[in-house]
A and B are shown apart, each in its own frame.
Chain A
């Protein structure tokens, strides 16, 4: 069964304290892996797409990396405004266009 698992479920950091969020997947054939940010009461906001192992993408304090079995979202020197739920989603060959989401990591950055 195709699955996407994110860890940890929740993470609390101090401002400036760098860390990583994990997304592991078991899919029959990966077509793409997507990271989204979701604020309370809003829809997911697109961050990155990764297509192949070894690929990396960066945006401000965020960097996403991809291996054959997992992806990491590294956050460097976070600020309180980075607090949000971060969602990982996978598109796989047997799944046509749909995205399979993990349950998300709730990130809180304390000032």
Chain B
């Protein structure tokens, strides 16, 4: 199928390590979003791209979090010097439209920081 894909599906990191999480959106989708989901909670917004432009990064919890989408398709979420509180599922979503429209989610990357 041509859904949103994310890799890796699972990542275990030692505290202080840097990690990079990848998202391949649905082909042709202009908008791309990153969310963080803690166990038993709903997803929380991290950042939003329209093509290659990062238009909203208000949800990034600290300057250790950095996201990019250099060619307007694949996106990478990077977390530097990981902490235990960064342990969560990181979800990527894409949307066809620029205006408000349904977002289609990938399976997520489960990050565990030891």
Residues on A facing B (Cβ under 8 Å): 4, 6, 31-32, 34, 36, 41-46, 49, 87, 89, 91, 96-104
Contact = CB atoms under 8 A, between A and B. Distances in A.
A34 B45 CA distance: 15
Which among B42, B43, B48, B59 has the greatest number of chain A C-beta atoms within 10 A?
A: B42
A87 B42 contact: yes
Given A43-B108, A104-B42, A98 B102 contact: no
Contact of A99 (B45, B50, B98): B45
Contacts of A102: 42
Contacts of B50: 97
A96 B42 contact: no
A43 B4 contact: yes
Nearest to B3: A43
B62 interface: no
B100 interface: yes
Nearest to B31: A97
Interface of B: 4, 31, 33, 35, 40-45, 48, 50, 55-56, 59, 91, 93, 95, 98, 100-108
Nearest to B92: A43
A93 to B, nearest CB: 9
A44 B33 CA distance: 13
Given A42-B107, A98-B48, A98-B59, A91 B100 contact: yes
Contacts of B4: 43
Given A43-B4, A104-B42, A96 B56 contact: yes
Contact of A46 (B41, B42, B44, B104): B104
Nearest to A6: B42
B100 A32 contact: yes
B100 A101 contact: no
